[in-house]
Amino acid sequence: MMGDRDYRQLIKNAIESIGRDIEPKIDPKDNKTIHIHEVVRCLRRSYYDRTDPIDSQWTSFNNLMTGLLQKMEYGGKEGEFQIEDIILKGKADMIVDDAIIIFRSTLEVPENPFSSDLLFLNACMWIFKKVEGVIVYMTSDGKESSFSLSKDNKMFEEVVRRVRVLKDLLVEQKVPILEPSNECSSCQYYERCFIKQKIGKQINIQDLFGLGKSSEKN
């Protein structure tokens, strides 16, 4: 805090507003328009975001960086891909010549790209009719690692399958199954998925192993 102003809060608000600005505008009642980011992560999380949302915090460097890049000259536009009666929508961070580029911030540069990022990048290639893609991982201390990917049919089939599943579950108002992963630890629905009720009674180790009974006999 400097003077009367809370600069930390000011910066947090600015990042949150950029995050909200780049967040795809989803109409929760429009079950026939699905966004790529909804299907490359846990479907249950995406379902809750539409039907009974809890706000998540927009504080990551990733949102700031992606938001600023999308506003630049090379910033990606939103595109669409028709899957029968469903529209799949997506936004690339940058489109340069025949390549899609997406940027992700990480604590450490990964040895391999994350599967959700591969699915996202590949789906962007189908939407924007490009054949090459690059994922750039960046850390806050300036390390960087890039992975390239060629357009892949099998990976896109998986995205299309998940698009259909999410649309059907939204129409039928059925909550998708749990998809436990590392994502759960930072998910705003963690308690809904894993902590139904608190265990009030303490477990007595002696009762558990019958130790109390045997000592009574002795």
Distance CA 40, CA 203 (A): 40
Instruction: Confirm if 191 and 52 have CB atoms less than 8 A apart.
Output: no
Look up tokens 């705003």; give the residue.
Answer: 188
Q: Is 189 in the site for ligand SF4 (CB under 6 A)?
A: yes
Q: Is 24 in the site for ligand SF4 (CB under 6 A)?
A: no
Q: Residues 6 or more apart from 153 whose CB is under 8 A from it? A: none
Burial (CB count within 10 angstroms: exposed 0-12, middle 13-18, buried 19+), residue 188: middle
Binding mask of the shown chain, residues 31 to 50, with x at each position contacting ligand SF4 by CB under 6 A = -----------x-xx-----
Residue whose CB is less far from ligand SF4, 45 or 130: 45
Count residues binding ligand SF4 (CB under 6 A).
12
Where in 163-182 is the site for ligand SF4 (CB under 6 A)?
Answer: 178-180
Residue 170 CA: distances (Å) to CA of 24, 52, 200: 18, 12, 35
Residue whose CB is less far from ligand SF4, 58 or 189: 189
Q: Is 212 in the site for ligand SF4 (CB under 6 A)?
A: no
**Closest separation in Å from C-beta 21 to ligand SF4:** 24
Sign of CA dihedral 29, 163, 66, 104: positive
**Closest separation in Å from C-beta 51 to ligand SF4:** 12
Binding mask of the shown chain, residues 191 to 210, with x at each position contacting ligand SF4 by CB under 6 A = --x-----------------
Q: 104 - beta bridge partners?
A: 137
Three-state DSSP at 24 gives coil
Chain residues binding ligand SF4 by CB under 6 A are 42, 44-45, 178-180, 183-184, 187, 189-190, 193
